[in-house]
Amino acid sequence: MILVGPPGAGKGTQAAKLVAKHRFTHISSGDMLRAAVAEGTALGKQADEFMKAGKLVPDGVVIGMIVERIAKPDCKEGFMLDGFPRTRPQAEALGAALEKAGVKLDAVVLIEVPDSLIVERITGRRSDPKTNKIYHVKFDPPPAGVDVVQRKDDTVEAVTTRLAKYHSETTPIVPFYEGAGILQRVDGVGDPDAVFARIEKVI
């Protein structure tokens, strides 16, 4: 399955809940790119500037990374993509790779959150670098003693660009999957457990 939604929609938050329940492999293109940046690999060096500015990393770089990843043995029993595809060419490349591998896409879940809520969610996000658990300073504060960090692209400036890119580059994949009859829209506003129950209902 695929999780789609604007920055701060709750893709990572819901992915953790889905994985805890269903045990399928979670593949976040953003997490993979951040790991590459941290390790200083060639891929990370290419991606860093785009990510800091809130721009999309070029399709040619990201498509290869994901096609390689979904061929790994831990994807055999099912996997969930988070943050990929996010352009029409990425969706088409994924479709071709899945067809070649004989894998059927079961669901594309679009988590809908209005733009007006995004900046507060993004600028308040913190995460635990040891466990990758996602927190929010107001909505889900980290417990005392947990040292949290903030993402480099979680600034007002970068999130404005990320939102604009979401609307111009990513929303065209919605009619693509709607046409295939596998798109499920879920309201992403409200308590994260309520959002999780909505996702469970549609998948």
Active site residue 88: no
Question: Quick one: 84 or 177, whose CB is closer to Mg ion?
Answer: 84
Is there binding between residue 5 and ligand AP5 (CB under 6 A)? Answer: yes
- Interface positions with Mg ion (CB under 5 A): 11-12
If contact means CB under 5 to 8 A according to the sort of partner, which of Mg ion, ligand AP5, none does residue 152 touch?
none
From the list ligand AP5, Mg ion, none, partner contacted by residue 198 (C-beta under 5 to 8 A by kind): none
- The answer to whether residue 162 is catalytic is yes
What is the x/- site pattern for ligand AP5, positions 85-124, by CB under 6 A? -x---x------------------------------xx-x
Give pairs for 29-35: CB < 8 Å, separation 24+.
29/62, 29/65, 29/66, 29/81, 29/82, 29/83, 29/84, 29/86, 30/82, 30/83, 31/82, 31/132, 32/65, 32/69, 33/57, 33/62, 33/65, 34/151
Exposed, middle or buried: residue 201 (CB in 10 Å: 0-12, 13-18, 19+)?
exposed
Contacting residue, 48, 70, 91, 136, with ligand AP5 by CB under 6 A? 136
Kindly report the length of the chain: 203
Shortest spacing between CB 197 and ligand AP5, in angstroms: 12
The span from the CA of 44 to the CA of 196, in Å, is 32
Instruction: Name the segment binding ligand AP5 (CB under 6 A); options: 18-26, 67-75, 84-92, 93-101.
Output: 84-92
Instruction: Determine which one of 55, 151, 152, 185 is catalytic.
Output: 151
Q: 25, 75 in Cβ contact below 8 A?
A: yes
